Structure 1
């Protein structure tokens, strides 16, 4: 129970990395508030948590492209707790396709609003709860493509634009919140394996040194977050950058 009583908020927690973060922190003893576009999707994550950790997960519906739902999410979390110690901005609308004209206007706008605008508004509305913590941290799940890398990614240009905006926000946010003691750090991973946190792979079994081209794993990314959160408060880790394989 390394993080007993830690209060964690995770967006986009119905599947993949967001789901893994929620389950991982719940098993480490944290109380976790998870959101997905529908409360039913978030609840699916909670039902898959094993043992007593399930009781430490609270589920909410929140479409990050809708400001009113973000405000409501923050209000509801505030009714459960007087503080938030860690905010993980993981939620993002994925959009694929190599041709700009291939996506509808609505899907392009939703991608940018949910990823870039959603991150900004999540921080804005959760800052009061973060400032009430003695150990406030914000994690932004960005992407290597935000830095101009991974040009062969199947992501649509709008996704690149959204992640670029998110990276710019994370950088200025880290600088401006630093004096107040709120730490901000971001992860810039390439494509990575989305292993199940309950599986053998999550525990490190199945990774073999003779296969150096194996993708970065969910477990490794989660452990980076845990490492950063565990550091003394005078240690500010701005970002984790990973080389594409």
Structure 2
């Protein structure tokens, strides 16, 4: 079965680089009309320039519900939503008692609240058309302790897993599936590259030893999982978490 997304409109958040860019490009190459959102306007232009297909980009702050609603209205009828925006926002792991309320709330906003806002914005149209796909990008940190040591990041990604399960039951009667990808460690952007280098040779070796396939994955591996959930191959799959991590 050949997977195609002709006549489908796809919205990908956090699409300036890494997973989001790879996901946007894969959908565009497979016939979809893609909207790519991010705060990084410069790298968004690179996403559009490298796309092999239709890819419109917009600078959108997904932690701002009004901005999300306005941008979603411009995108029109979104068939497939990929909630990829997230990250650690330059934070590093530190003792619980030293974490400020702003540090905590900022990470929850971009990793969890943003997915709620975008889902909230596109769900009415999906319900009206009685078809839709929502795919959330969580993390291995949502299933266990985070390599980053950042409490808010682990909590937000775990919250995204349960938001997936909750929305699955709410939206299922409208033929909308909601699923989740939990990526393992991938060197896909400047943040993960810095994290990789910080481990040193010994830490890198230990990380690889804990992966069944003994190698790191790529952003394309994550995009492949998204394509599966978005395709007709997953027509009766909802509320699921797929770990794309090389085996743990």
How far apart are residue 75 of structure 1 and its match? Answer: 1.8
SS at match of 2:51: coil
TM-score normalised by L of structure 1? 0.80
Choose from 65, 68, 73 the match for 2:66. Answer: 68
Residue in 2 that maps onto 1:112: 108
How far apart are residue 155 of structure 1 and its match? Answer: 4.2
Separation in 2 of the partners of 1:71 and 1:155? 33
1:226-245 maps to which residues of 2 (within 5 A)?
A: 226-231=227-232, 234-237=235-238, 238-242=240-244
Q: Does residue 191 of the first structure (1) align with residue 189 of the second (2)?
A: no
TM-score normalised by L of structure 2? 0.79
Separation in 1 of the partners of 2:51 and 2:163? 33
CA RMSD of aligned residues (A): 2.4
Residue in 1 that maps onto 2:14: 12
Q: Does the 8 Å contact 2:133/2:176 carry over to 1?
A: yes
Q: Does residue 160 of the first structure (1) align with residue 161 of the second (2)?
A: no
Separation in 2 of the partners of 1:163 and 1:98? 18
Residue in 1 that maps onto 2:86: 92
- 5+ residue gaps, structure 2, are 190-211
Separation in 2 of the partners of 1:114 and 1:3? 28
More deviation, 171-180/33-42: 33-42
Aligned residue pair count = 220
How far apart are residue 176 of structure 1 and its match? Answer: 1.6
How far apart are residue 45 of structure 1 and its match? Answer: 1.2
Q: Does the 8 Å contact 1:71/1:125 carry over to 2?
A: yes
Residue in 1 that maps onto 2:47: 45
How far apart are residue 217 of structure 1 and its match? Answer: 2.4
Residue in 1 that maps onto 2:205: none
